Structure 1
Amino acid sequence: MNRPGILLEHQQHQTLTPRLQQAVRLLQLSTQDFSLELRDLLAVNPFLDIEDSPPDSPAEPDPAADEVDSSEPDAFVDAEPWGNGKSTPASDGALDQLALTAANETLQQHLHQQLNVLNLTERDRLLAALVIEALDDDGYLRIELDELGTLLELDPPIEPCEMQYALTLVQSFDPAGVACRDVAECIALQLVALPPSRERDLAHLIVTRELSRLAVRDITGLSQGLGYPVAQTEAAAQLIRQLDPRPGWAFGEHTATYLTPDILVHRSRQRWVATLNPAVVPRLKVNQQYAEWFQRHREAHHADLASHLQEARWTVRNLEQRFSTILRVAQALVDRQQHFFELGILAMQPLGLKDIAEELALHESTVSRATNNKYMATPFGVFELKYLFSRGLSTRQGSQCSTTAIREAIRKMIQAEAAYAPHSDAEITRLLQQQGLKVARRTVTKYRQLMRIPAVEQRRIHG
C-alpha cells in the first residue's frame, strides 16, 4: 500500500527581476521610443534629473586627426547605401521667401486663387469651390459627382450638368491633370495640355485604350494592338512616363522623416571605428540632494518614494548598460565587416546573430534587441545595424558569400545591361555561376523582386 510522502527536489528557475525587465525593455527600444520612455520617467520620478551640460572647452588636438576620414556623417536623410551623394551649396543665410511660400501653398489655395479671378456666377463659383475642396492630396476627385452635389442644398436643386461644368472648369486649372477621377484621365488631361504631335496623339490612344499593357511595359503588344511601329510606340510610352500621375504632390508642406543614428562610424588609422552618437545619450542622474533628504526623513508611509528612488537607480544603471551593449555590438559588427566599409556591398561577409553573440558572450536575443531599430551613420549613408548581418551561400570554391553581396551583384548586372537586350533571370543565374556563385534561378527571381526590379520584358526598351 502506497503511503503519501513528501519529496524535496532542487530545481533552478530563471526569473527576470524588475531591474532586468526594465533593462531588456530599454535595450530593445528605438532611439525615439527610448527618448519618450525617459521623458515619461522624468515626469513621474522626482529622483531622476538631467545633468547640466559641461561648459564648452577648447577641443584638444587629435594625434590621429590626419588619418581620420574627414567625411562628416552629420545628417543623412533617406540615404541610399553607396549612392551618389549630393552636396548642398553653402547658404548666405537668407531664405528664398518666394520659393518657401510656393512650397507651403496647398493645392486648394492654388486652385482657389485661379477660381477667384474668373468672371463666374455665384452659383458656378460655389460649385467649383465644392469640387476643389473635395480633392485629395494626390489631386484626385474620389467622390462621385452626383454624391458631391448632394452636399449643398441650393434653390433650384443642382443639376448633373452643373456639376459636370464645375468639374471641367477645375480640370482646366493648373496643374494639368488635377480633379481627375483615375490615372488614365489624369494623364489624358496632361497630354491635352501639350503641343500637338504624333507622339502625343499616340500617347493619348494608349492611355485611353491600352493603359494596362503600358503598365507592364508590353511595347510589342501595344505596337501590334494599335498598328503603330515599335519605335513610335516606345516614343509615345516614354512621353507618358514623363508625366505626373499625382499632380497634387507638388503642393503643401511635406515633412521629411529624420533618423537619428545611435552609432557614428569613421575611419581611424587603419580600421573603422564605432562611437556612440552623443546626441542620443542622455545625461541622466539620480538627484542626490533629494535622495539624501529622503534617507534622513524616511518613514513607513514613504513606500512610494522608496520605490521611486530604487527605480531611479535602476534606470541610471540600465541606461549605461543599454548604450554599452549597443556600442559593443556595433563595434563587433564593424570589425567583422571591415571589407564592407572598405570596398562596398559586394564585400559583405556572411554574418549571423550567433557569431556576434559568441564573440561578446551575450545571448542571441540580446544581440537582436541591441541591433533592432538602431542605426549607424557612415560616410556612405545610414544603415540599420541589422543590415550588416547576412546569410551565407556556398561558392564553387567552397567558401561562403553573403546574400547581401549576391543581391548587389544582381543589381549591378541589371544596371549595366543593354536597354534593348536586358538579362533574364536565367541569364543572370548563368552569369553568377560563371563568377563561382551557385544560385538557383528562383533565388535570383526572389532577390530581384525584393529589390523591386521589374521582370526582363518590363525592362526592355524597343528601338
Structure 2
Amino acid sequence: MLHQSQLQKNTLKILPQQIQMLNMYHLNNIELELRIKDELDENPLLEMEQEDSEPVEFGKNDEPQDYQDWDEYGYDDRPDYRVEHESYIHSNNYNIPVRENEDFRSMLKMQLIDKKLSEQELAVAEYLLDSVTESGFLERDMQDICDDISFSHGHMVDMDQVEKIRLMLLSMEPLGVGCRNIREFLLLQLNGVVSKCPVTRKAIQLIDRHYDDLRKRCLDKIMDALELDEEELSIVLKHIGQLQLKPVNERYEATVAKETIIPDFVITVENEMVLVDLCRPRAGALTINTSLMEVAEKSDAGAARNKSTMQYMKSKLSSAMWFVQAVKQREENMLRIIKAIVKKQKEYFLHGDPSLLKPMILKNIADEVGLDISTISRVTCNKYVDTPFGLILLKNLFTEGIINREGESVSNKVIQITLEEIVRNEDKNNPYSDQQLVALLETRGIKIARRTVAKYRDILNIPVGDMRKIWAKAI
C-alpha cells in the first residue's frame, strides 16, 4: 500500500573550494612551501617571483689582478709548521661518520612492513603513529581521528578499523605506543608477564577494577575489595611502582633527532610595543603568467581551432587565480588572528612570564576578528611564533580561567604551574594530599575544588600522594 509523506530538513553543504581553503589554513610554513611547489609544477600559468640580486657591473678597463692579495698572503704571521701540517693532515675531516638519529615513530613504521597490511590499513597505522605524543600516548579523541583520516584520504574509515590498528601497534617495539592513558599502559605491562605471581595478579585486579579508587586514595576500599592487609597492599603498590609510566622512555628519547621548526610568525618588542609579522609571506611573490593568461582569455576567438587545449588553459587559469587568492586570504587572516592574540596577551609577550597569561579561548579570538571558531582552530593548532624568549606553539596560549580571591580571572595554565611548583618542592617522603594542595593553593589566592586539583594532576602526569611516596622510596 502506497503512502505519501512530507519531510522538512536543513542540510549544510560545503563547496570543494571551501574544503580546500580550510586545508590551506591548516598548513604550516613547511607544508605551505611544499604545496606551492606542487602547484608550480602542475600549473604552467602559476609563477613565483624570485628575489633579484643586484647585478655586478664591470668597468671597461678592469683587468685581472693576479697579485692583488700578495701582501696579505706574503706577510701573514701564521706559523709555517701549521701550514705544513694542514698540507698533509686536514684539520676538517669530512669522512667522520655521522650517526643517523631515528625516532620511535620511524622505527615503528619500519616494523609495519612485516605486518602485511593493506594500503588503507597502512595509511591508518602511519596516521596513528604521527598522532601520538612524545611519550607515546594517543590522547586525541578516536572520533576526531576517524574524521581526519576520512577527510584527508577521501574515503570513510570506520572507528572499529582504527581501534583494530591501534591494538596492533600496542604489541610492537617500543611496547605500548598508542595507549590511551597510563592505566591501559600499566595493564599492558602486567598482562605481558608470562608467569603471573600472586602479587602480579593482585596488581592487575587493582589497576583494572580499582584504578579510580587508587587515584582517590581510597586505600581502605581497595584492601576490602582485594582482601589485602596494609602490608600486602604496600607490596602490590611497590610492584606497580616498578613499571614504566610512559611507553617511550629515556632510551628512545635519547635517539630522537631535534626537528627544525620554522616559525610562521615573528614577534619583536620595541619600546614597549609588540610588533607582529609573518615569517615568510608568499602572497606577493605568487603571480600568473600574463602571456599565457591572455591566450586563455582569448580562447573564444579560436575555439574551433583546438578546443581541448583551450579548456585546459581555462581550467588552469581558474585554478591559478584561486590559489593566489587563497594564499593571500590565508596570510591576511593569519595576521588578523595573531594581532588579536597579541592584543589579548600583550603583557606575556612583553616579559615572557607564563604567569602573566590571561584566560583566552578560541571564541574570544573568533569574536574579535569576525571569523569562525573552526578557522581559528586550524590556524593556531600547528603554528609557531618566534618571540624574544623562544618559540611558542600558539595552541598553548589558549587556556580557560578561574576567578581568584581578588575577583580576577586567572588562567588555568598559571594554576598548573603553581601546582607543579608546590609538588616539586614538597617533602618526597611525606607528599601532600589533594586536600592539602587545595589549602596551599588557597593561601596563594587560588580557590579551587579538590576534583579540580586531581584533574590538573592528571594533566601534569603527577600521581597521587601515596603513589609519589612509594615511588620515591623505590627510586
Taking structure 1 as the reference length, the TM-score comes to 0.54
Cross-structure match for 2:86? none
**Partner-residue secondary structure (3-state), 2:275:** strand
Q: Does 1:318 align with 2:326?
A: yes
Q: How do 1:111-260 and structure 2 match up within 5 A?
A: 254-260=256-262
Aligned mates of 1:257, 1:222 — CA distance in 2: 47
1:392, 1:403 within 8 Å by CA — same for their partners in 2?
A: yes
SS at the partner of 2:99? helix
CA–CA separation in structure 1 for the residues paired with 2:278 and 2:289: 25
- 1:77 corresponds in structure 2 to none
**Counterparts in 2 of 1:431 and 1:103: CA distance versus 1, 3 Å:** same
Q: Quick check: 1:355 aligned with 2:371?
A: no
Contact 1:30–1:372, Cα closer than 8 Å, also in 2: no
The 3-state SS of whatever aligns with 1:358 is helix
What are the Cα deviations for residues 374-394 of structure 1, in whole angstroms up to 9, with x where unaligned?
A: 121223332221221111112
Aligned counterpart, 2:443: 434
State how many pairs are aligned.
Answer: 302
State the 1:41 CA deviation.
1.9
Shift of 1:441: 1.2
Asked whether the 8 Å contact 1:262–1:280 carries over to 2, the reply is: no
Q: Does 1:421 align with 2:430?
A: yes
Taking structure 1 as reference, are residues 96 and 389 closer, same or farther at Cα in structure 2, changes over 3 Å only? farther
Structure 2: runs of 5 or more not aligned: 1-9, 56-89, 109-172, 176-196, 204-213, 215-229
1:8-407 to 2 correspondences below 5 Å: 20-55=18-53, 101=97, 103-104=99-100, 254-278=256-280, 283-296=285-298, 299-300=302-303, 301=307, 302-341=310-349, 342=351, 344-407=353-416
Deviation at 1:329, TM superposition (A): 0.7
* Root mean square deviation of aligned Cα: 4.4
Aligned-partner Cα distance in 1 for 2:253–2:352: 38
8 Å Cα contact 2:432/2:465 also seen in 1: yes
What amino acid maps onto 2:291 in structure 1? Answer: Q
Q: Note closer, same or farther for the CA distance 1:248–1:403 as it changes in structure 2 (3 Å cut).
A: closer
Paired position in structure 2 for 1:451? 460
How much has 1:335 moved relative to structure 2? 1.8
The CA distance in 2 between the partners of 1:53 and 1:287, in whole Å, is 17
Q: Structure 2: which amino acid aligns with 1:262?
A: D
- SS, match of residue 379 in structure 2: helix
Q: Quick one: distance in 2 between partners of 1:402 and 1:254?
A: 32
C-alpha distance in structure 2 between counterparts of 1:334 and 1:445, whole Å: 31
Could you say which residue in structure 1 is the equivalent of 2:128?
A: none
CA change 1:359–1:56 in 2 (3 A) is farther
Superposition deviation, residue 336 in structure 1: 0.9
Quote the Cα distance in structure 1 between the aligned partners of 2:321 and 2:438: 57
Amino acid at match of 1:400: S
The CA deviation string for residues 174-202 of structure 1, in whole angstroms up to 9 with x for no partner, is xxxxxxx999xxxxxxxxxxxxxxxxxxx
> Partners in 2 of 1:48 and 1:389 — Cα distance?
37
**Mean Cα deviation higher: 21-30 or 355-364:** 21-30
> Using the alignment, how far apart are the partners of 2:93 and 2:252 within structure 1?
22
- Structure 1 residues 417 and 336 mapped into 2: Cα distance closer, same or farther (>3 Å)? same
Taking only the aligned residue pairs, the percentage that are identical comes to: 26
Contiguous gaps of at least 5 residues in structure 1: 1-11, 58-92, 107-135, 138-180, 184-207, 227-232
1:221 shift after superposition: 6.7
Q: Is the 8 Å Cα contact of residues 50 and 282 (structure 1) preserved in structure 2?
A: no
Cα distance in 2, alignment partners of residues 405 and 297 from structure 1 = 63
Change (3 A) 1:437 1:223: closer
Equivalent residue of 1:310, what SS? Answer: helix
Measured in 2, the distance between the counterparts of 1:13 and 1:364 equals 20
Distance 1:403 1:41 in 2: 43
Contact 2:384–2:394 (CA<8 Å) still a contact in 1? yes
Distance 2:332 2:390 in 1: 23
Q: 1:450 to 1:312 in 2, by over 3 A?
A: same
CA distance in 2 between counterparts of 1:326 and 1:362 reads 11
CA distance 1:56–1:325, change in 2 (3 Å):
farther
- Please give the alpha-carbon distance, in whole angstroms, between the structure 2 residues aligned to 1:35 and 1:104: 25
